[in-house]
Structure 1
Amino acid sequence: MIRYLLRRLLQTIPVLIGTTLLVYYMVFALPGDPIAALFRDKQPPQSVIDDLRNQYHLDEPFWIQYGAFLVNLLTLNLGNDFTQQPVASTLARIFPVTAMLAVEALIIQAVFGVTFGLIAGLRRGRVFDSTVLVVSLIVIAIPTFVLGFVFQLVFGVRLGWAKPTVGANADWAALVLPATVLGLASFAYVLRLTRASVIENKKADYVLTASAKGLSGPRLVLTHILRNSMIPVVTYLGANLGSLMGGAVVIEGIFNVPGVGNKLYQAVLRGEGPTVVIIVSVLVLVFVVANLLVDLLYAWLDPRIRYDK
């Protein structure tokens, strides 16, 4: 197990280097002058512009800029963004908000997706099964930003069940509405994946044997059918955690959530290469850790899986 963990951790090094290099190059290749975009119509003294270019290595070639970024990243010197705000303090403020949003969306899609998928798989071909399949197709077909505006108008403005916008005070209760919208599309995939896996495991030999021995009811469903059906679902949920955090840009914009998505969008507009790459690096780390936890969870779901070799 220890060897497996070390091997997986070492694999994150080329992943991080490749990701940061690609993202940094894409930001570097964006047209326009980030310093000019920072001041807009106000023209500062040339000495100020020169100092900023020198501070952020904007007057250097790409490889010099990227090398300076890697050195700062390895020494945990995240520096300041173009507005002279420390990137570390900014991340400490916005990352927990996006993490709460992603975790809440993950819980919503996992609980409802697995529950409805399990019931639909056990009742294949019945009214409930047909209904949830149609509903899941509708949810998948509707764009996320459309769902966001509809939920904001209906549940936030008209019914008043939740705050239509989050604002600065982002807590678990305030994030319920955006988390529900963020988790809806993935909820449909979790539902259909759970349903298909349950239908397949219902026909497995070990389930038929357990049923023939007289085992029935919740123990048969939870221990033999659902537990073995969770492996593909857990794989999807683990990979989806990173996607939820990185894909929250639109939702955070609609519901005014002060999270990573808003900061990443503003940094791209201003051409802040180091800030963009640092945020993406954090998201990559979240993705890698989530997948590592999923791999370890396999051994609990299926005792036949071992990582000793």
Structure 2
Amino acid sequence: MARAVELAARGAGTTSPNPVVGAVVLAADGTVAGEGWHERAGGPHAEVGALAAAGERARGGTAYVTLEPCNHHGRTGPCAQALLRAGVARVVYAVADPGAVEGGGADTLRAAGVDVLAGVLAEEAERVNEAWLTSARRHRPHVLWKVAATLDGRAAAADGTSRWISSATSREQVHDLRRRVDAIVAGSGTVLADDPHLTARDRDGALSPRQPLRVVLDRRGRVPAGARVLDDAAPTHVSRAATPAALLAELRERGVVSVLLEGGPTLAGAFLAAGLVDRVVAYVAPVLLGAGPAALSGTGITTIADAVRLDVDEVSLVGGDVRVSGRPRR
């Protein structure tokens, strides 16, 4: 199952609006017969790829899958039926499929006499498929807030300059985050102050082949026509939604599963206050300013007892910065 989780991660950024899924098929003698992962939306599912690689060796064997095999006809056939046709004797999956239509594969397999085990390495499989699972369970896009700040919590200097607080290596990682999401959200204040492009770029500076939707929250119509975010390098959606929840509802209607929040401290504060931040990735630079705008504002928090605390799952050193990743505790 650990190998299946590794395989699933390969599909990050290319499968939306579908989940990332990995699969490993063992032959009856316990040796690896085939591997697969969901590579792109509309393409073969992970189980189908693994079964194709395994061929007749799948008969009487075991399939390990990170997500419960689907049981419906979409752009591809149901994986539960493919497993039955291949003669697999046992199926082990990590996470139950939360979709009312997509779920049910485990029951179909059991009814046909297949031995089914659920929940193996569920936490690891959840993490790699976090965005899709959030969208399926909460009926809104998954929200990742990326923030770069100085050691004393400043997002910019007193004169408004902020390039560059974080290291070049950290900025490369941010472009990787952009490539993996469906949409990047910024507020009109950030657009007016920084005129960002909000595109994903490769290490050589060229535009990446896949560009997320650029979203500007501009309730008062302040963004000028010449703003870089409005050029033709990537699609752009300008929203006048009154609340973060309303904006996420708009984006869900457009098929957005995952959002990267890159706006300023006020926009981030509004999402956090509404309980709509699912993950935080913070790059803390070894820099001191002593003055300037804070990295976060407008949360409405006035006492330490109400502080939003993170369940941290990663701390690492990136180009001299400290990267902290975690989920707001609910």
Higher helix share: 1
Task: Say which one has the larger Rg.
Answer: 1
Q: TM-score, normalised by structure 2?
A: 0.23
Per chain length, whose mean CA-contact separation is higher, i.e. which structure has more relative contact order (CA < 8 Å, sep 6+)? Answer: 1
Q: TM-score, normalised by structure 1?
A: 0.25
Higher strand share: 2
